[in-house]
Structure 1
Amino acid sequence: MLEQFVTALPGSLAPILLTMVISAVCKPADARYHTTRVRYVRVAGVVLGIVAAIVFATLRGTGLLTQRTIVNQPTLVACILADIAVLVAFAILVKTNEPEQKLYTAGNVIFGVALALTYFRALPDVILRVTNFVETGQTPFTSDMLLRALGFTLGIAASVVIAAIFSALVSTVGARIFAITGIALTALIAAQHVIDLTQILFSTRVIRLPSFAFQALVWGLNNTLTLVIAQAVVFVIPVVAAFVAGWKTAVEGQTIAEVRIHRKFKRHAYVAVAFSLLAVLGVGAALTYGVAATHVEIKLSEPEKYVLEDGVAKIKASQVSDGHLHRFEYKASDGTTMRFLAIKKGSGGIVVVLDACDNCGDAGYYEKDGKVICKKCDVAMNIATIGFKGGCNPVPIDFENDGTTVTVQTSVLDANSSYFRR
């Protein structure tokens, strides 16, 4: 349950917060140009992004799409360009709450495209967690499945509730303060997109990085949780503004009605500030302690020895016939270090697979209590299905077994090196 929660919350938080901020910033212009329908472009962007994310996740989950880079690289470039456009749009809206209709139309198109791309980038990994509700070989309806589903649902719901709490500040501070908040939020989202794109370009050797840039990339990859928490922390900007507005509002007026209005405004500002601060602290605590409680580093077993000669990897069948997982390492012709596994499936034969899958990449597998478990998503494999393609099963590869020696052509391994450099 907790594992699903701490995956669903950070994965859905950024797009939902961005949707809320854009709606808050556009609210005055929406009221002014209420007869136009261009504001629905933003809604269309959200729907398109979610649908595209579901399709992408489905293709990955079924194994129909094995090379995510061909999708991730161009969409990340598009995301970064959209992020820049959104930053410009927010900067313009900081200066004016009443843009001209042409500018309003252009802004909605920019926001719609940005929302579609943000949802598409953020949600596939969240959606794929749904496939982990039921462990391989188990019946669908179990208490464990219900707990996983509950954790997933609570993670998504928490993102929605947090965004709703922050949106309560709009009536106190106005759209301009939220435009400033939007700049900070979009900058953080853009930073994550830049980190992801740089990782792809560097791992595929499209670019080389100087030492300082490489260290920055490593920091970004190791601190994704910090960036997510920072996305909630930026709402301290409207929180401070709301507190100041409430503090400066004097509970006085020429009539009792005016006094009540001022008192109501002051009370609303303080309540919104209190709940928003709790939301910020809640995100930080939930992710920091939640991830710490679920993230126990699993060390993969050391690679075993085998014979490599004449373009063939040779493993003694007796070495891998004990029913346990055996890991081997190979350096591909392109320089990529990759891993492959061998295991005997009960009374069946020996099977050889990559130490990677279509869903979780090269995270690897480990053995625990007689089960083969994915290190990234904690799904336990049904050993009988290992060697078959799809889901979180290890990627199968061609091999031969004459009863004495298991052999794998190095050309087969070389052809699959991309799984270990994504």
Structure 2
Amino acid sequence: MLQSVLQNLIPVMQNMIMAVIPLAMLLALTGKDQSGTVKKRIWRGILWGLAGAAFIATVKLGTKAVKREVYESLVLVVGLAGETLLLGIFLWNNKRGAILEKYKLLGVTSCVVAITALLYHGLELFLFPVDLITYTNELISLEFLMKVIGFLLGLLLTWLTGLAILRAASVLSSRAIGNILAAQLVVIMAKQVLVVAQVMMVRKILLTSKGMMPFMGPLINHQIWFLYLLLAVTVILPIALILQRKPAKPEGLNPAQYRKILITARKKMRWSGAVALGLLVICLFSTVGMVYADQKTEIIPAVPMAAEDGQIRIPLEKVDDGHLHRFSYQSSTGEVVRFIVIKKSGSAYGVGLDACEICGVTGYFERDNQVVCVLCDVVMNTATIGFKGGCNPIPLEYKVAEGKMIVPVDGLEKEKNRFK
């Protein structure tokens, strides 16, 4: 069950943290704007981005009118333009030392960055619950509950880390926040450029050469590296706070006033510790947790069965233990047709192909006394095996006679093309 939790926690956490980290830093930076105008525009952008992602998810699922790769590429191109302008503002600020209120473009640019970040990363946030309901056979089940818990824990961890980053960064100077945010944006933009380039390569808009592939291939296959790099850059934030010296007592302050200064300093350390802890947990989930979540259960090989007089006969004592049993039959034209048998209750058995209409011939395995689809990891309701629908195995006819289960070969021959 822990594996099921991690399989849903990790993707939502990795996806949303790429948007939450820069947005938290932006909010911390604009907190220095005493007018509050820029911060309001960022929050407006966050709300518009979430609303837009929810709308696009609905359109995509309802009409299939939106091709995801086209949508995401357009969003990223607009986002890249906004992030480039934002980097330009930071560079100009470092050179001139101007205050935030002087940049009229900062509010608009920050709003655009917030919108595009959530239009891109927030889409999965709204697609996940729909996919979960669509591909789960039983909504009232422990498996469904574990997936929901994983999803919610991923969101909670992301939100808490973002909150810690916001609070910790707020005590730094505008210049320090801007420098860290600029480094984060460079990492995020590099990943976005890679995603857009990948789409353009697939659609033959961007022609590739032999010299490009050794460089592009590893980056495309290991995009998780950008998350690790973003976490590494963000670690600069707690380090900067920890390196700050203990505040000296200013002249003329009484002990009570100095204690307030020390309390503020201790709060800085707590928030810096919270940021470091959040980044560490995310890193551990994205490394050790992913290894565990992606662990594949060993699938027992199917037992070859020979036919006699057009029938396969399986002694009942071989399948009476309530566990999943996999068998195979070589058809007249050479295809190896796999089928499964499991005792449900009393004299009832679930018999079907080791394949379903949705996931094809990837088959099933047993985990924690449950029958699970190899491809989508959906747990089958044992009582429904042998019936059509959902991710259930494609049912096969059988009968029980003289202590044996009899499976007609005709039914297997009819389905052999599925296993080509």
Determine if the TM-score, normalized by the shorter chain, exceeds 0.5: yes
Task: Tell whether 2:50 aligns with 1:50.
Answer: yes
Shift of 1:43: 1.8
Task: Tell whether 2:389 aligns with 1:384.
Answer: yes
Of 368, 371, 384, the residue aligned with 2:364 is 368
Overall identity of the aligned pairs, in %: 15
Task: Tell whether 2:7 aligns with 1:3.
Answer: yes
Shift of 1:85: 1.6
User: How far apart, in 2, do the equivalents of 1:220 and 1:97 lie?
Assistant: 37
Shift of 1:137: 6.3
Of 364-373 and 211-220, deviating more is 364-373
**Structure 1 217/42 Cα, relative in aligned 2: closer, same or farther at 3 Å?**
same
* Letter aligned with residue 197 of structure 1: V
Of 241, 246, 249, the residue aligned with 2:247 is 249
- Any idea what the Cα deviations from partners look like across 1:236-266, whole Å, max 9, x if unmatched? 2222221222x25225643324432442243
- Structure 2 unaligned regions, length at least 5: 299-330, 341-350, 381-386, 392-412
* Letter aligned with residue 174 of structure 2: A
The 8 Å contact of residues 9 and 155 in structure 1, kept in 2 or not, is answered as yes
* Letter aligned with residue 243 of structure 2: V
With normalisation by structure 1, the TM-score equals 0.69
Partner of 2:262: 263
Of 86-95 and 14-23, deviating more is 86-95
User: How far apart, in 2, do the equivalents of 1:139 and 1:93 lie?
Assistant: 56
Size of the alignment, in residue pairs? 343
Partner secondary structure for residue 32 of structure 2: helix
User: How far apart, in 2, do the equivalents of 1:236 and 1:225 lie?
Assistant: 17
* Letter aligned with residue 5 of structure 1: L
Partner secondary structure for residue 384 of structure 1: coil
Task: Tell whether 2:21 aligns with 1:17.
Answer: yes
**Structure 1 55/297 Cα, relative in aligned 2: closer, same or farther at 3 Å?**
farther
* Letter aligned with residue 40 of structure 1: K
Partner secondary structure for residue 99 of structure 2: coil
* Letter aligned with residue 281 of structure 1: L
- Any idea what the Cα deviations from partners look like across 1:15-35, whole Å, max 9, x if unmatched? 112221111111111x1x24x
* Letter aligned with residue 213 of structure 2: F
The 8 Å contact of residues 374 and 380 in structure 1, kept in 2 or not, is answered as no
User: How far apart, in 1, do the equivalents of 2:99 and 2:52 lie?
Assistant: 31
Listed as ranges, the matches of 1:67-82 within 5 Å are: 67-82=67-82
CA root-mean-square deviation: 3.8
* Letter aligned with residue 368 of structure 1: Y
Partner of 1:107: 106
The 8 Å contact of residues 27 and 175 in structure 1, kept in 2 or not, is answered as no
User: How far apart, in 2, do the equivalents of 1:91 and 1:267 lie?
Assistant: 32
* Letter aligned with residue 384 of structure 1: G
Partner secondary structure for residue 19 of structure 1: helix
User: How far apart, in 1, do the equivalents of 2:15 and 2:141 lie?
Assistant: 25
With normalisation by structure 2, the TM-score equals 0.69
- Any idea what the Cα deviations from partners look like across 1:162-188, whole Å, max 9, x if unmatched? 011122223432232111111111111
* Letter aligned with residue 209 of structure 1: T
Partner of 1:41: 41
